Structure formats: structure tokens, C-alpha cells
Structure 1
Amino acid sequence: MQERHGRGCLFKRVWIKTGDAVEVNEDISFVRDGRRAAVWILHRVFKTQSYADILLDHVLEKISLSSKERALATELVYGTLRWLGYIEWILKKLYRGLWKSVPPLIQRNLEVAVYQILFLSKIPEYAVVDEAVEIAKQTHGDQWPGRVNAVLRKLLQKKENIESLLPDQKNLFQRIAVECSHPQWLVERWIQRFGVDRTMALCKANNQKPYIGIRVNLRKTTRESLLEEFLQMGIEVELDPFLPEFLRIRKSGDIAHLAPFQQGKCTVQDPSAGLVAHLMDPQPGEWILDLTSAPGGKATHLAELSGDQVHIVAVDKYLHRLRMVKENAFRLGLSSIDCVVADGTGKWKPIFDKVLVDAPCTSVGIFRRSPELKWKKITKEIPKICQVQSRLLESAAQALKPGGVLVYSTCSVLEEENEQRIEAFLSHHPEFQIESIAGKVPQEFISPQGWIQTWPDLHDLDGAFAVLLRKRGCVL
């Protein structure tokens, strides 16, 4: 961290990750508490298309805040992102002028304030308004404090009749999109696919605070022992109802700082992602290719399930991402994973018993964990992402021995990334067929077509897809 002095106050310059790269940010001179940290982090989320969790980790690591202020910053960042569609609609109704013309930091400041007023109750409303005005002074001088004050005072007047500001019920798609704080294009899709009631239930589930999935490293401990260890630490934890090596933590601090994590007894992973390793059913001596491995959650799970007796080739295009795989494997005490810097869509010799394509996707299934993804321009990205997914499937088919197994998975619930990808692949590869997964995973996750689909509203899991394909022929 670099420091310099100017204009009578201390300025700090923080290193953050933008996606996978690391860059130096602009000054964050006004960050001295949780609310200001939230405003600044949200500003960077939208300015750099960064992930909120990465920004939170890096900023809170560099800025000295109390545990109370850190918790407030986290609540404000994720809460504002979850309800941003609703909040922005309200603000556009209250602000006199073109919302796009409002400086980004002022927008974020107002959004955080509206979230506090409408969704939280611990901080008095007058204090929220005063803080928002003070932040506007610090970031923009005398130009914006009056307008920030006017908008928020107007909100307080309208609070008891807030529904009058929402879209008319006649415009069903827009009303549900705003009320449930989801992008309208996705609401339209889901209503056409599932109907209104299911769509609203799915949106509601996406807006809930998620539990933290914990995968127990059974090579170092048992699920019951780790459960008891967490309970003794005062952590709210329970058994996962679906997979025998998973727990669910409802409330805790940073898991990475807890002794069980540092000792390699567990990994943070949603149980929906854990289903993939059970589909692959790794057996001792098998050669497994993981074409998009980083950060290594599924590769390490495969190694654990096999007793560290498989040969896993973990592939990623970027060395710094593969370092995460190596670090995770070392922490968990695993030695069966070899990391290879390569493009997963390249050419491979047919030497592998099993291949995993955990494909890059739109991540529409993990909105409750990464709510900022709701507000990305996903529709423009879908065709390009689908092309990459298809190329990865082609490479996987090439790398697989006759008689081998290919597992394709995503953390998306969009049909073009899931069912349609597999149908297109099978239409060009008659040597592959969908294999029954009965007995490998709970029956409630298995579709009539034979693949896995999990849902936040139906299963209290991340939205995810996985399918098991068998390449016809005798094993060489």
C-alpha cells in the first residue's frame, strides 16, 4: 500500500483484483467507516466490472475498520446489490433530472442510503440522511449535498406509500422485475418458461442471504468432528441434507481465517458444485482431465473422494490462476493434482479415463452469492460464452478414451448454456450418450432427460447444471 499526503488529509491507494488481474485504484480518501467503504466498493464494482467479494476482501484488508464496521460494509454492499433494481427505480422517480447525469459516486451514495432506509432499521433515518449528505460534501464539495438531502427527504415522505412509485400492475414484466429486483429480460424468460408464481419464488430465493457451503476433507477429519469444532467456536452450523461430506454455515466471520480451514480440514464450496465430483465417481488409478480447473474446487474434491489415488491434470490458461489450485491442494494435503498451463480448447490426445468440463458461463445460477452479476450485460455475452462451451466440449471429446466419461457442468440455469449445449454436442457426436446417474446423486436433482438441475427456490442450492456422457467403445 502506498501513502501520500495532500489537501490536509491522508490518502491511501489500494491494490485490488479486477477479475483476475490486479490494478492500482483511484484514491479512497474518504473511507473511514463501513458506510463509506460500501459506497466506494460499489463504485468500483460498476466502474471496473469487478466482483464484490474480491473488492471487499482487498479493501477491508487494507483499511483499518472495527469488526462492526466491516460487517456493516459487507451488509450494505451485498444488500444494495441484491435490491439495486428496486432501489434505482425508486431513485429515478424521486430525482428531478436525468439519473444518468448524476456522478457515479453520488449514485452509489444514494443507493446505499435508500437501502438503509427501506431495508434496515438499526441506524436512525435522520442519521442515514446526514451521513449521505456528509459523504456528498467530501466527494463533490458543495454541488451535490443539497440534492442528496432533497432526494432522501422526499423518500422519507413517500416511505409509507412506496408502492405508488412502482410500475403499474398492468405492465407485468416490468412490475415483477422492479419489485423483485431482477433484470427484466430474465423475468420475461422465466415467466414464459415457469409462470408468474414460480418466477417470483425464484427471484425471492435469489434475494436471500445464502449460507456458506463447507466441504469436509474426510482425509483429515469427519463431518461430525468438524461440526462439533465449529459449534464450540460459536458458529451456526448444520449438516447438509444432500451430500455426506458437506456442512452449512449460517453465520460466521471470514472462513479463511478459521483454524479448520487453515489446517486443511475443509473447503468453501456450495453443495451443488459438490454434485459434480459424485457424478464423475473417481476411482484409484484413473487419469482425469479438468479442462477449466482454477481455482481447483472440483479437482480437489475429486482427489479427496478417490483417497488421493487418481492422476488429475488441472488445466488453466493463466499461471496465476493455477497457483490457486496448487495452494488449495497443498492446504488440503493432496498430491494427485498436476497443474498445466494450457488453453482447454486446444488439442488433446485420447488418453484420459474421465474429463471434466466445468464450463465458463453467465453464472445466472449464483445471483444470491454474487448479486452484482444481475446487473451485467449478460445477454450480449451469451453467444460468445456458448461458443467457448462448445469448443471445450469438442476438446473433451478428443481427450477421452473410448468407453470414458465426460461430465459437463455450469453454474447457470439458462437453457442455451445447458440443455441446448448438450443437445447440439450430441447431434454432432453420435459416439456419446447420456448415461444414467441414478444412485450417484439424490433423485430429486435428476431431470427426466437424465441430467442434474438444481435451483435456489426448490433445493436451497445454487442454480447449477451437470450431465454425465459416456463415449461408446471398449476401454483401451
Structure 2
Amino acid sequence: MTRQSKDQTGSASPARRAAFDALWRVEAQEAMSDSALDDVLHQRKLSSPDRALATELLYGTIRWRALLDHFLGQVADRRLDKIERRALIALRLGAYQLLRLRVPGRAAVAESVSLAPSPTRGFVNAILRNLDRRRDALQGPEKISDLIERLAVSESHPRWLVERWANELGAEDAAKLLAANNLRPALALRVNPLRSDRDRLLALFAEKGVEASAGPLSPLAVVVPDSGPVRELPGYAEGHFAVQDEASQLAPLIVGPQPGELALDVCAAPGTKTLALAALMNNQGTVVAVDANAERLDRMTAEIDRLGVTNVVAVTADATAPLRLPGRFTDALFDRVLVDPPCTGLGTIRRRPEIKWRRGPSDIAALADKQRAILQHAAARVKPGGTLVYSTCTLTREENEEVVAVLHPEFEAVDPAPPASAASLVKDNVLRTWPHIIGADGFTLMRFLRRK
């Protein structure tokens, strides 16, 4: 930690200091919230209660940013976008404690002020004390007459996204989706069949006093409603499970790789689905994992060892161009190909709430162009009679149905044939998971067969 950041964090408690530093990484360095929190907590020795509080403060402050700003804007003497960035983070952190956690004013204000840069502490102190005094007299979002704006503030989402979902789903279902996005998701695990099975893992958790249940969507899913650090769960070191949302688990199951086959995972990093494919193949055959980011691919190495996977070949390559694969894969055609391209990620707002503040309408069109290029080059690697699965963690038609329209007619859209527990989610050969309906991330999955 630099001398400057020490001065700015003052005497704040360890949990609040950790949350502030993670928020700074998210805001200023555009880090993902989960990575920022992991990095900060890894550097510090926090007690379990402090880790839990830091986590709540980080995610809560990001999730409820629009609502917090609605109230802060009524007590500040200037526009919030004119406030120094670290001071604004301290204000939002304090407002979250006052308005959502109902932390006593004295503690919430003093701790937040100590996190602000020294020249701004008087300013931050005045605003937060004013907020604490007037909180019950301020105008809430229920007074906003415009429905879209009211939902944007009360459920803390950008207006463009609220408007989009209201048009697609209707106002009532859109409101339910917004509310679901603000819920803290349970930890979802994928049982590693190379090392365990679901009944054995649930029995192990029960023996060690860990509350857990079988997931409703995936036959490999175990849901842990309230866990500490994942690495401290029983069976982690032994590779009995991997962290993976239930909706994400459906993609490898729909690909359906068989032992001995040749499978290709395009845009594979950090390898969550790659390792699931390998496990379904029982380490027989080969999974080629392609990604343009070598550093992200390298992160898969530790998981490969922990999970006991032996049939993955990692390749750094640009999937927006014809795939350049090494050695025996140079001209190879694959039995199964999974395309999981970069997307807006709007289905993962529950886990990464910063996404809703970073994305805009123009991102959808820009990413769709990239997705079309990736899909076309990946499709060229599917053998006749082979399977192609297109998967995204977003809910927009532009990034899904409109992207797969680029496929050659020799690719036939077929029923994704998910596990029976998810069959009801398929409509017109498209499987789409809505967070407010199934309690998992929002994914869209489609399966194609290449005619012989």
C-alpha cells in the first residue's frame, strides 16, 4: 500500500478499508468486483466477520449505486459527477451503511470520512451527517412519476436497460428481473465427476456442517447458500468441485462430449467450461481450449491440476480470424465445438453488478459483430455430423438469435436437449435462463448439427 492510500484510509476498520480499496479498483481500474475483492482479501488477514462485512459493503455499494446517488444528490451542494472520485466512493460507502444496512450514524459517518482524501474529509463529513439527519425526510424513488425512471432508481439499474427490458418483458416482469439482479446469489458448485459425485459431496458437506443442497437445474450442481472462502470448503483441495453457476453448467452438458472425441472450446478462458467438458469425457479424447488472452489461459493450469484433468490442450489464438491451431490440430475438424464469445454479460449482474454501469446500448452492436466473426470461424472447424453449441451469458437477441443467423444453411438448429430439469426453458430451439424465473444467471444457449 502506498503512503498516499495509508493517509487516505486513516483509522477505518479493516473491513471498510478493504471494501474501499476494492471499490477503488472497480471504479478506477475497471477491475471486476470478484477479482478486486479476492486480491484485496488475499493481501490482508481479516477475520471471518470482517471478510463478510467487506464483501457486503463492496457488492451492496455497487448494486445500489443509483439509489444511493438519488439520496446523496438531495443533500450534496454540487453534482455528484463533479466530486473527486475517492471522495465519491467514500460517500457511497457511507450512504449504503446509513440507508441499506442501518449502521448507526456516528460509526458510518466517521469511518467513511476517514477513507476520503484528506482535503475532502470536511466535505464528506458534512454531506453524510446531513444525509443521516434528513434520511426520513428525503424524497424516495416512489415519488418519481415516470415508471421507467422510478424503476431505474428504486431497483438501481441504468435507464436504458430498464427501458429495454420493460419493452421486451412488460413492466411487471422487468421489475421482477431488476429485483432478482439485486439479490445476493448463493454459491453454485459443479461436482467434478473425475473425483466425486453429487451425493458424496453433499454427504461430505453435511458431515462437516456445511449447509448445501442439490441444484435444481444441473445434475452436477450443489448450492451453498452461505459459505466462507471457497478454498476453505471441504473437498476443495481434493478437487471434488469447481465454482460454476448452474446456468453455465448447462452449456457443457448440452455440448455432450463423449469419451474419445475431439472437442473445441472457443474463447475458453478462464477454462470453467473447458474443464467441465474434459470431465464429461472422463479424460479420454482431447479438448482444445482456444483464447486470445494467454494470461487468462494460464490461470487454468492450477485448476487443471486440482481437478485431475489430463486431456486439455491450451492454444493462444485470435478467434476472430481463421483459427490457427498447432501440430495435429492444424487442419482438424472437431466432433463438438463450443462457442462462448465475449458478450455484454447482462445475465451475470447478480454476481458482477458493475456490468450494468459499464455497458451501454452501443456495446451490444459492437460485440455482436465480433461474435459473428468468431462463430463463423469456429463453425468451419465442425466436422460433418458434428455438434456446434453457441452460448452467451447475456439475454439480448442481437447477441444470440441474430448472431447465429450468419451460419451456413448446412447447420441445422435443433433442440438443445438439456437435462430434463431444464427442458421447460427451451422455446423454439433456444434455451434462455432468466434470473427472476430460475434463480440462476441469465444464459442463452443454442445447438446446431452440421449436416453430412
TM-score category by the smaller chain? Answer: over 0.9
Contact 1:282 1:310 (8 Å CA) reproduced: no
Count of matched residue pairs: 444
Could you tell me which residue of structure 2 aligns to residue 20 of structure 1? none
Give the Cα separation in 2 of the matches to 1:381 and 1:68: 38
The more displaced of 357-366 and 153-162 is: 153-162
Structure 2 match to 1:129: 109
- 1:168 positional shift: 4.5
Counterpart amino acid of 1:108? I
TM-score where L is the length of structure 1: 0.88
What do the CA deviations read for 1:275-306 (whole angstroms, capped 9, x no partner)?
Answer: 11111111122111111111111111111112
2:244 to 266, 269, 286: 269
Shift of 1:157: 3.2
Listed as ranges, the gaps of 5+ residues in structure 2 are 324-330
CA distance in 1, matches of 2:18, 2:282: 44
- Indicate the SS of the match to 2:22: helix
Structure 1 partner of 2:381: 399
Q: Which residue of 2 aligns with 1:450?
A: 429
1:273-284 matches, cutoff 5 A: 273-284=248-259
| Correspondence 1:78-227 to 2 at 5 A | 78-121=59-102, 123-136=103-116, 139-141=117-119, 144-162=120-138, 164-166=139-141, 168-227=143-202
Once the two structures are superposed, the pairs formed by residues 360-371 of structure 1 within 5 Å of their partners are: 360-371=342-353
Residues 40 and 105, structure 1, Cα contact 8 Å, conserved in 2: no
1:116 deviates by: 0.7
Cα distance in structure 2, aligned partners of 1:181 and 1:407: 34
Give the TM-score, by structure 2 length.
0.93
1:124-168 Cα distance to aligned partner (Å, 9 max, x none): 2221122223333xx224xx3333233223222332244x24374
Task: Specify the code of the residue in structure 2 equivalent to 1:156.
Answer: D
Asked if the contact 1:326/1:339 (under 8 Å) is kept, the reply is: no
SS of aligned partner of 1:260: coil
Distance change in 2, residues 1:91/1:289 (3 Å): same
Q: Counterpart amino acid of 1:402?
A: P
8 Å contact 1:85–1:182 — kept in the other structure? yes
Separation (CA, whole Å) in 2 of partners of 1:246 and 1:70: 25
1:293/1:325 contact within 8 Å kept: no
Native 8 Å contact 1:133 1:145 kept in 2: yes
Say yes or no: does 1:468 pair with 2:444.
no
Unmatched 5+ stretches in structure 1: 13-26
Give the one of 399, 413, 417 matched to 1:417: 399
- Report the Cα distance in structure 2 between the residues aligned to 1:71 and 1:361, rounded to whole angstroms: 30
Provide the alpha-carbon RMSD of the alignment.
2.1
How much does 1:383 deviate? 2.2
Matched residue of 1:64: which SS? coil
Q: Percent identity?
A: 36
Residues 342-392 of structure 1: CA distance to partner in whole angstroms, max 9, x if unpaired? 112332435111111011111000000001111103323222211111011
Change (3 A) 1:443 1:61: same
Structure with the bigger RCO (C-alpha within 8 Å, sep 6+) is 2
Q: Per the alignment, in what secondary structure is the counterpart of residue 309 of structure 1?
A: coil
Aligned residue for 2:299, secondary structure, equals helix
CA distance in 1, matches of 2:313, 2:115: 50
Distance of 2:140 and 2:254 partners within structure 1? 48
Counterpart of 1:34 in structure 2 is 15
1:416 partner SS? coil
- Of residues 385-394 and 250-259 in structure 1, the stretch that sits farther from structure 2 once superposed is 250-259
Q: Take 1:40 and 1:258, find their aligned partners in 2: how far apart are those partners?
A: 26
- Given that 2:10 and 2:115 are in contact with CA atoms closer than 8 Å, whether structure 1 keeps it comes out as no
Comparing 364-373 and 306-315, the one that deviates more: 306-315
Give the Å deviation of 1:219: 2.2
Greater CA drift, 335-344 or 379-388:
379-388
Query: Given residue 470 of structure 1, which amino acid in structure 2 is its aligned partner?
Result: L
Q: Which amino acid is 1:107 matched to?
A: L
